[in-house]
A and B are shown apart, each in its own frame.
Chain A
């Protein structure tokens, strides 16, 4: 089954990828953080290395993942994302961590 996933990138990465607003990705089931990021980087290669490390594929420390009001940043990259993400009714949010002050 192919799912249409909605992605919200942080503003700096939208600029880098030349994306205006949300972007959509087509992803086969199961929909996981890994499959979402794989598809995102395939569509926008300039984002490789900006969200997760090129080699280890670990999330960069100051990047967070949110969905349906929950912080999923520490979930396994292979855990299926909520049904609302897979169905496209809610977006998958990639956020630059709030830091400073």
Chain B
């Protein structure tokens, strides 16, 4: 029988919720990493028992954790006794080492980006916002970080290397932090084209590579952001989240700071589809598992009033399962995780009173 596993990252630890396919009764495990911020957890599509987690702290920095048994036990990759020393005798322990690439061979010297006051500011690593395991290899995983850049690991998270062509593009000095920091928060891997990756950054916009991450181009044509001196600028847009249906990777949906947008050409151009939403401000956006034209957003009153009744829903805090009917899940900064087992018609909290929820990912296990 099918089983659902919900991975919940919060301000004070990680929780794992499980249910059978009926999605009526839920078992809650946690907190894992109690007291630490868990920005994101995500499983490998190749090996669902392998879960990567981003664990962060304002005191002690970034930690990457990995479980190979569905979250029962965790380790920092590369720290087992047999992995402690490299062949040259040097101590390992680099699973949390995210260093921007400044080499002339693979990028350009580290540039600056725009600061809140309009001056230029150096790139400084702060944390991993999002982990996106490869569709084909459980040891291969991408990390979207703040200050915005894309890293990858090909050894199960033991070491990380920047895909510097993104930050090295000429637009870097025009990127700027949003209220939550300058973060790369969304990574979409094209199921039919391993060389195509689309990412989104607040507040720079959306970018795409068609050569496996060597070169990138901004894909923001059609976006309009009133806060920019040039509202239709090539970069600088505060894109909160993008999503697609795996069967239609060329059709992208976007929740921008304001405006819900759609592209039918892999991001080359965008049209507004906010329609009759009560407000088109929000953070998350996701697509129904079986209906590629059914989109979910969480409208919020405005960018200065972020409080739906039980708290905000952050950009990485909504996800869908692939059962029939489709289930949809979201977590709030008020600590509730809500679920609908009938594509959104009826809702109930499946756990209450957690710490503020930062991320929600759903695994459909068959």
Q: Tell me the minimal C-beta distance from B348 to chain A in angstroms.
A: 34
B60 A13 Cβ-Cβ under 8 A? yes
> Which chain B residues lie closer than 8 Å to A13 at the CB level?
60
From A54, A63, A97, contact of B94 by CB (8 A): A54
CB pair A46–B59 under 8 Å, yes or no, is no
In the bound assembly, the distance between CA atoms of A80 and B226 in angstroms comes to: 58
Q: What is the distance, in angstroms, from B9's C-beta to the closest C-beta of chain A?
A: 17
- CB contacts under 8 Å to A, within B68-93, are 76, 78-79, 84, 91-93
A50-B60, A60-B60 known; A12+B35 contact, CB < 8 A: yes
Most buried by A among B36, B61, B76, B97: B61
Most buried by A among B35, B59, B95: B59
Chain B residues near A1 (CB-CB < 8 A):
none
Known contacts: A12-B35, A45-B79. The answer to whether A51 contacts B93 by CB under 8 A is no
Complex CA distance for A54 and B62, rounded to whole angstroms: 11
Residues A45 and B59 in contact, CB atoms below 8 Å apart: no
Of the listed residues B36, B91, B99, the one surrounded by the most CB atoms of chain A closer than 10 A to its CB is: B91
How many whole Å from B31's CB to the nearest CB in chain A?
12
Please report the C-alpha to C-alpha distance between residue A43 and residue B94 in the assembled complex, in whole angstroms.
14
B residues with a Cβ closer than 8 A to A are: 35-36, 57-63, 76, 78-79, 84, 91-97, 99
Whether the Cβ atoms of A12 and B62 lie closer than 8 Å is no
Among B57, B92, B95, B99, the most chain A Cβ lie within 10 Å of the Cβ of: B57
Chain A nearest CB from B79 CB (Å) reads: 5
Complex interface residues of chain A between 42 and 59 (CB less than 8 A to chain B): 42, 44-51, 54-55
Q: Say yes or no: A48-B93 contact (C-beta < 8 A), given A16-B76, A96-B60.
A: yes
A61 to chain B, nearest CB (A): 9
Q: Are B92 and A50 in contact (CB under 8 A)?
A: no
> Which residue from B61, B63, B92 sits with its C-beta under 8 Å from A45?
B92
Which of B36, B84, B92, B96 has a CB less than 8 Å from the CB of A49? B96
Q: Which residues of B contact A55 (CB under 8 A)?
A: 99
Of the candidates A12, A44, A60, the one whose C-beta lies within 8 Å of that of B36 is A12
A22-62 residues at the B interface, CB under 8 angstroms? 41-42, 44-51, 54-55, 60, 62
Question: 10 nearest interchain CB pairs?
Answer: A45-B93, A50-B60, A48-B93, A46-B76, A62-B59, A96-B59, A46-B79, A54-B97, A49-B96, A42-B91
Interfacial residues, chain A to chain B (CB-CB below 8 A):
10, 12-13, 16, 41-42, 44-51, 54-55, 60, 62-63, 96-97, 99
**Contact A62:B93 (CB < 8 A) given known A45-B84, A54-B99, A55-B99:** no
Q: A50-B63, A50-B96, A54-B94 are in contact. Are A45 and B58 (CB under 8 A)?
A: no
Q: List 17 A-B contacts (CB under 8 A).
A: A10-B59, A10-B60, A16-B63, A16-B76, A45-B91, A45-B93, A48-B93, A48-B94, A48-B96, A49-B61, A49-B97, A54-B96, A54-B97, A54-B99, A60-B60, A60-B61, A96-B60
**CA separation between A13 and B35, bound complex, in Å?**
11
